[in-house]
Structure 1
Amino acid sequence: MHFAIFARYRGRERRRAEFVRRSAEALSTLEGAGEFSVVRVEDIAAEPDTPEGFVNATLALLAAGDWAIGLSCSHDSLNQAELVLPQRAKAGHVYVAAGEFSKELQASFTLLQFVLSKRTKEGREATSLVRSGLSQIEAADALGISKQAMSQRLQAAGWQAEQAGYQQAVSLWCRAAQSLR
């Protein structure tokens, strides 16, 4: 069973190759995301180890906003994820090939992308700290704000919606993988 991510950079960086290489290195540090490799100047790919790593890497790419993302869960390897990504794929879009679960996964990632796209800088800071494992109190201390202000930032950033979408996406990927066994 292979989980695969294939992403094409659609941003405006002048030094695209360097940016894409650095992005692959950074994504490879996410737990369970696997080793991202540069496939072509604008393309990166990985076969994540876990459904959680798979969803974390996809969310990181969505949060960046400059990537078109192809995802697959199949008996095939990485090629399937590349094939699902149209040549003119748009930044911030996720294209999914996961059998009977494709539509539900597509919907989950579309909703997650919407939540991520509405975040302010402060919301991104707050959710990043909590996602990294800090409690709300620890994250508030790190930002120099009150616990109440932290709670308000997380609420405005759609943290609860992100967590619900994350759990749904992980669950759907697990079900997709089980259906292919």
Structure 2
Amino acid sequence: MFVLTVDQRDSRRDVDRVADLLTDLRDAPLLRPFERTAGDEIQAVTDDPVVVVDLVLDLLRREHWSIGVGVGPVEHPLPEQTRAGRGRAFEHARSAVERAKNAPGRVAVDGADSDAAGDADAALTLLATLVLRRSAQGHEAVDLAREGLSQAGIAERLGISRQAVSQRLTTAAWQAEVAGRELARRLLERADR
């Protein structure tokens, strides 16, 4: 099981961004939805490592969040409210979000199997590096590629040449992201065994 604990960065010098984030994430495919747990922090539960990777990368693009991923068991049945959940995954998420506050990629993974969690942590940190360095044009091209558009379709949608699309995707490290997402998924899955 995976628990995501997400904390707003520099919240004392910024507006409260939690309400807007909760609205944006309300349709995420989770076992327990994101919910405010304390102040500027939210938490959610999922059993799907693909959802974890997707949410981590989405949150990183929003630029205001430290993300902790806890891996491990939770007490069942899960309570209706996320913040009432208990178990090792919740404890690991707490320690992970604290580490994420000072981590280069603003994301950290913690779990009972420290080697497996460390491998997943490294993969997500590498993905974070790609996403955080990408230009707005790179994000735009990658978003359309993730929707399944061909390079010709992306070119038509953006009103640029196929060559320009190819260059944007290359500069944005799109193929590396695809491989990195799959690697992170497998490593999170392994950490959850």
TM-score by structure 2 length?
Answer: 0.80
Whole-angstrom CA distance in 2 between matches of 1:30 and 1:135: 26
Query: Quick check: 1:33–1:50 contact (8 Å CA) kept in 2?
Result: no
Residue 95 of structure 1: aligned partner: 108
Q: Tell me, which stretches of 5 or more residues in structure 2 are unaligned?
A: 74-86
| 1:96-148 deviation per Cα after TM superposition (whole angstroms, max 9, x unaligned) | 11323122112111111111121111001111121233332222221111222
Alignment check: 8 A CA contact 1:27 1:33 kept:
no
- 1:153 aligns with 168
The share of aligned pairs that are identical, in percent, is: 33
Contact 1:51 1:173 in 2 (8 A): yes
1:145 is paired with a residue of what secondary structure? coil
Give 5+ residue unaligned stretches, structure 1.
Answer: none
In 2, distance between residues paired with 1:140 and 1:41? Answer: 43
Q: Distance in 2 between matches of 1:147 and 1:28?
A: 36
The Cα RMSD (Å) is: 2.3
Contact 2:30 2:45 in 1 (8 A): no
Q: Note if contact 1:51-1:170 (Cα within 8 Å) is conserved in structure 2.
A: yes
Asked which structure has the greater CA Rg, the reply is 2
The aligned residue for residue 51 of structure 1 is 49
Q: How many residues align?
A: 175
How far, CA to CA, are the matches of 1:34 and 1:127 in structure 2? 29
Using a 3 Å threshold, how does the CA distance of structure 1 residues 47 and 109 change in structure 2: closer, same or farther?
same
Q: Is the 8 A contact 2:107 2:121 kept in 1?
A: yes
User: Scaled by the length of structure 1, what TM-score is found?
Assistant: 0.85
CA distance in 1 between partners of 2:148 and 2:90 (Å): 31
Change (3 A) 1:154 1:107: same
